Amino acid sequence: MIGIVDYGLGNLTSVAAAVAKVGHTPRVTGDAAELWRSERLILPGVGAFGDGMRRLRELGLVEPLTRMVVEEGKPILGICLGSQLLARESEEFGTHEGLGWIDATVRRLAPGDDELRIPHVGWNDLDQVGESPLFADVPETALFYYVHSYRLVVDQPGIVVGSCTYGSAFPSVIQAGNIFATQFHPEKSQRHGLLLLQNFLERVH
Protein backbone atom coordinates (compact mmCIF):
# COMPACT_ATOMS: atom_id res chain seq x y z
CA MET A 1 0.00 0.00 0.00
CA ILE A 2 1.22 3.51 -0.88
CA GLY A 3 0.31 6.15 1.69
CA ILE A 4 -0.71 9.49 0.19
CA VAL A 5 -0.68 12.07 2.97
CA ASP A 6 -4.02 13.87 3.12
CA TYR A 7 -3.69 17.20 4.91
CA GLY A 8 -6.34 19.02 2.92
CA LEU A 9 -4.09 20.46 0.20
CA GLY A 10 -3.07 18.88 -3.07
CA ASN A 11 -4.23 16.93 -6.09
CA LEU A 12 -5.00 13.85 -4.03
CA THR A 13 -7.33 12.25 -6.58
CA SER A 14 -4.86 12.76 -9.43
CA VAL A 15 -1.94 11.37 -7.43
CA ALA A 16 -3.97 8.36 -6.30
CA ALA A 17 -5.08 7.70 -9.88
CA ALA A 18 -1.47 7.87 -11.08
CA VAL A 19 -0.34 5.41 -8.39
CA ALA A 20 -3.11 3.02 -9.39
CA LYS A 21 -2.29 3.41 -13.09
CA VAL A 22 1.27 2.16 -12.55
CA GLY A 23 0.00 -0.90 -10.71
CA HIS A 24 0.03 -0.01 -7.01
CA THR A 25 -2.64 0.45 -4.34
CA PRO A 26 -3.00 4.03 -3.10
CA ARG A 27 -4.34 4.92 0.32
CA VAL A 28 -5.27 8.60 0.74
CA THR A 29 -5.29 9.27 4.47
CA GLY A 30 -4.45 11.69 7.22
CA ASP A 31 -4.38 8.88 9.79
CA ALA A 32 -0.85 8.33 11.14
CA ALA A 33 -1.54 4.65 11.87
CA GLU A 34 -2.50 4.06 8.23
CA LEU A 35 0.60 5.89 7.05
CA TRP A 36 2.78 3.73 9.34
CA ARG A 37 1.41 0.63 7.61
CA SER A 38 2.27 2.00 4.14
CA GLU A 39 5.30 0.72 2.24
CA ARG A 40 6.22 4.25 1.22
CA LEU A 41 4.75 7.73 1.34
CA ILE A 42 3.81 10.51 -1.05
CA LEU A 43 3.41 14.08 0.25
CA PRO A 44 1.56 16.04 -2.45
CA GLY A 45 0.56 19.67 -2.20
CA VAL A 46 -0.85 22.72 -3.93
CA GLY A 47 -1.13 26.06 -2.17
CA ALA A 48 0.79 28.17 0.31
CA PHE A 49 3.61 26.86 2.51
CA GLY A 50 2.24 28.32 5.74
CA ASP A 51 -1.18 26.76 5.18
CA GLY A 52 0.42 23.39 4.47
CA MET A 53 2.46 23.36 7.68
CA ARG A 54 -0.51 24.61 9.72
CA ARG A 55 -2.67 21.75 8.42
CA LEU A 56 0.02 19.13 9.15
CA ARG A 57 0.32 20.44 12.71
CA GLU A 58 -3.45 20.58 13.26
CA LEU A 59 -3.75 16.95 12.16
CA GLY A 60 -0.89 15.92 14.46
CA LEU A 61 1.14 14.56 11.56
CA VAL A 62 4.47 16.37 11.91
CA GLU A 63 5.93 14.20 14.68
CA PRO A 64 4.76 10.79 13.36
CA LEU A 65 5.84 11.62 9.81
CA THR A 66 9.24 12.70 11.12
CA ARG A 67 9.62 9.43 12.97
CA MET A 68 8.62 7.43 9.89
CA VAL A 69 10.89 9.26 7.48
CA VAL A 70 13.88 10.50 9.48
CA GLU A 71 14.14 7.82 12.17
CA GLU A 72 12.71 4.73 10.44
CA GLY A 73 13.84 5.57 6.89
CA LYS A 74 10.49 5.08 5.15
CA PRO A 75 10.83 6.32 1.54
CA ILE A 76 8.88 9.49 0.78
CA LEU A 77 8.25 11.52 -2.37
CA GLY A 78 7.31 15.19 -1.94
CA ILE A 79 5.50 16.76 -4.90
CA CYS A 80 5.35 20.52 -5.63
CA LEU A 81 4.34 22.17 -2.32
CA GLY A 82 5.07 18.81 -0.70
CA SER A 83 8.67 19.10 -1.87
CA GLN A 84 9.00 22.57 -0.36
CA LEU A 85 7.55 21.52 3.01
CA LEU A 86 10.61 19.29 3.47
CA ALA A 87 12.81 22.39 3.88
CA ARG A 88 13.76 24.25 7.08
CA GLU A 89 11.70 27.34 6.32
CA SER A 90 9.94 29.39 3.67
CA GLU A 91 9.64 33.11 2.97
CA GLU A 92 6.23 32.73 1.27
CA PHE A 93 3.87 35.31 2.84
CA GLY A 94 6.19 35.74 5.83
CA THR A 95 8.63 33.34 7.44
CA HIS A 96 7.34 29.86 8.20
CA GLU A 97 9.09 26.86 9.74
CA GLY A 98 9.05 23.69 7.64
CA LEU A 99 9.60 20.02 8.41
CA GLY A 100 13.38 20.52 8.28
CA TRP A 101 14.16 17.15 6.73
CA ILE A 102 16.46 18.67 4.10
CA ASP A 103 18.96 21.50 4.49
CA ALA A 104 17.14 24.06 2.35
CA THR A 105 14.98 27.17 2.36
CA VAL A 106 12.12 28.19 0.07
CA ARG A 107 12.35 31.48 -1.79
CA ARG A 108 10.40 33.22 -4.54
CA LEU A 109 11.36 32.44 -8.11
CA ALA A 110 13.65 35.07 -9.62
CA PRO A 111 13.85 34.37 -13.37
CA GLY A 112 15.87 37.53 -14.07
CA ASP A 113 13.81 38.16 -17.22
CA ASP A 114 10.83 40.53 -17.23
CA GLU A 115 9.17 38.50 -19.99
CA LEU A 116 9.00 35.38 -17.82
CA ARG A 117 5.88 35.45 -15.68
CA ILE A 118 5.44 34.16 -12.15
CA PRO A 119 3.97 31.67 -11.42
CA HIS A 120 5.96 29.35 -13.64
CA VAL A 121 3.23 27.29 -15.31
CA GLY A 122 3.55 24.68 -18.02
CA TRP A 123 5.90 22.15 -19.56
CA ASN A 124 9.61 22.57 -19.03
CA ASP A 125 12.83 20.62 -18.99
CA LEU A 126 14.48 18.36 -16.43
CA ASP A 127 18.26 18.38 -16.50
CA GLN A 128 19.48 15.16 -14.89
CA VAL A 129 22.48 16.54 -13.04
CA GLY A 130 22.96 13.52 -10.77
CA GLU A 131 22.27 9.81 -10.71
CA SER A 132 18.94 8.66 -9.30
CA PRO A 133 16.74 5.57 -9.47
CA LEU A 134 13.93 7.98 -10.37
CA PHE A 135 15.54 8.55 -13.77
CA ALA A 136 15.65 4.91 -14.91
CA ASP A 137 14.54 4.86 -18.59
CA VAL A 138 13.54 8.55 -18.41
CA PRO A 139 15.12 10.28 -21.45
CA GLU A 140 17.14 13.47 -21.04
CA THR A 141 14.68 15.17 -23.42
CA ALA A 142 11.63 14.45 -21.22
CA LEU A 143 9.45 17.42 -20.27
CA PHE A 144 7.51 17.77 -17.02
CA TYR A 145 4.63 19.95 -15.86
CA TYR A 146 5.34 22.77 -13.38
CA VAL A 147 3.04 25.12 -11.44
CA HIS A 148 4.84 27.19 -8.79
CA SER A 149 6.01 30.64 -7.69
CA TYR A 150 8.66 29.51 -5.17
CA ARG A 151 11.73 27.32 -5.36
CA LEU A 152 14.05 25.38 -3.09
CA VAL A 153 17.46 26.90 -2.30
CA VAL A 154 19.65 24.11 -0.93
CA ASP A 155 22.75 24.33 1.25
CA GLN A 156 24.03 20.93 0.08
CA PRO A 157 24.20 20.96 -3.74
CA GLY A 158 24.84 17.21 -3.76
CA ILE A 159 21.18 16.46 -2.97
CA VAL A 160 20.07 18.14 -6.21
CA VAL A 161 19.87 15.44 -8.89
CA GLY A 162 17.59 17.33 -11.28
CA SER A 163 17.29 20.99 -12.21
CA CYS A 164 15.10 23.14 -14.42
CA THR A 165 15.83 26.45 -16.09
CA TYR A 166 13.25 29.25 -16.03
CA GLY A 167 15.39 32.29 -16.64
CA SER A 168 17.75 30.85 -14.04
CA ALA A 169 18.20 27.29 -12.79
CA PHE A 170 16.40 25.93 -9.74
CA PRO A 171 16.28 22.43 -8.18
CA SER A 172 13.52 20.28 -9.65
CA VAL A 173 14.44 16.88 -8.19
CA ILE A 174 15.92 16.28 -4.72
CA GLN A 175 17.36 13.01 -3.41
CA ALA A 176 18.65 12.78 0.15
CA GLY A 177 18.80 9.17 1.30
CA ASN A 178 15.22 7.93 1.54
CA ILE A 179 13.82 11.43 0.88
CA PHE A 180 12.87 12.31 -2.70
CA ALA A 181 11.12 15.39 -4.04
CA THR A 182 10.00 16.87 -7.35
CA GLN A 183 9.07 20.49 -7.94
CA PHE A 184 7.02 19.41 -10.97
CA HIS A 185 3.89 17.26 -10.90
CA PRO A 186 4.69 13.73 -12.10
CA GLU A 187 0.99 12.85 -11.96
CA LYS A 188 0.31 15.58 -14.56
CA SER A 189 3.37 14.86 -16.70
CA GLN A 190 1.92 12.04 -18.79
CA ARG A 191 4.09 9.07 -19.79
CA HIS A 192 7.42 10.21 -18.39
CA GLY A 193 5.84 11.49 -15.19
CA LEU A 194 4.18 8.14 -14.62
CA LEU A 195 7.48 6.39 -15.32
CA LEU A 196 9.28 8.53 -12.76
CA LEU A 197 6.53 7.82 -10.23
CA GLN A 198 6.74 4.10 -10.96
CA ASN A 199 10.51 4.24 -10.45
CA PHE A 200 9.95 5.73 -7.00
CA LEU A 201 7.47 3.00 -6.14
CA GLU A 202 9.54 0.10 -7.48
CA ARG A 203 13.23 1.06 -7.62
CA VAL A 204 13.69 2.97 -4.36
CA HIS A 205 14.57 0.77 -1.37
Domains of the chain: 2-203 (3.40.50.880)
Catalytic residue, from 63, 89, 187, 202: name it: 187
Q: What is the pTM of this model?
A: 0.97
d(CA 45, CA 64): 18
d(CA 77, CA 25): 16
187 is catalytic: yes
192 is catalytic: no
Catalytic residue, from 96, 120, 148, 185: name it: 185
Element (H, E) at 162: strand 160-166
pLDDT per residue as tens, the chain (205 positions): 999 999 998 889 999 999 999 999 999 999 999 999 999 999 999 999 999 999 999 999 999 999 999 999 999 999 999 999 999 999 999 999 999 999 999 999 988 888 899 999 999 999 999 999 999 999 999 999 999 999 999 999 899 999 999 999 999 999 999 999 999 999 999 999 999 999 999 999 8
Catalytic residue, from 80, 120, 148, 164: name it: 80
Asked if residues 147 and 46 have their Cβ atoms less than 8 Å apart, the reply is: yes
164 is catalytic: no
Neighbours of 166 (CB within 10 A): 22
pLDDT at residue 114 in the model = 80
* 25: nearest Cα among 33, 37, 7, 8: 37
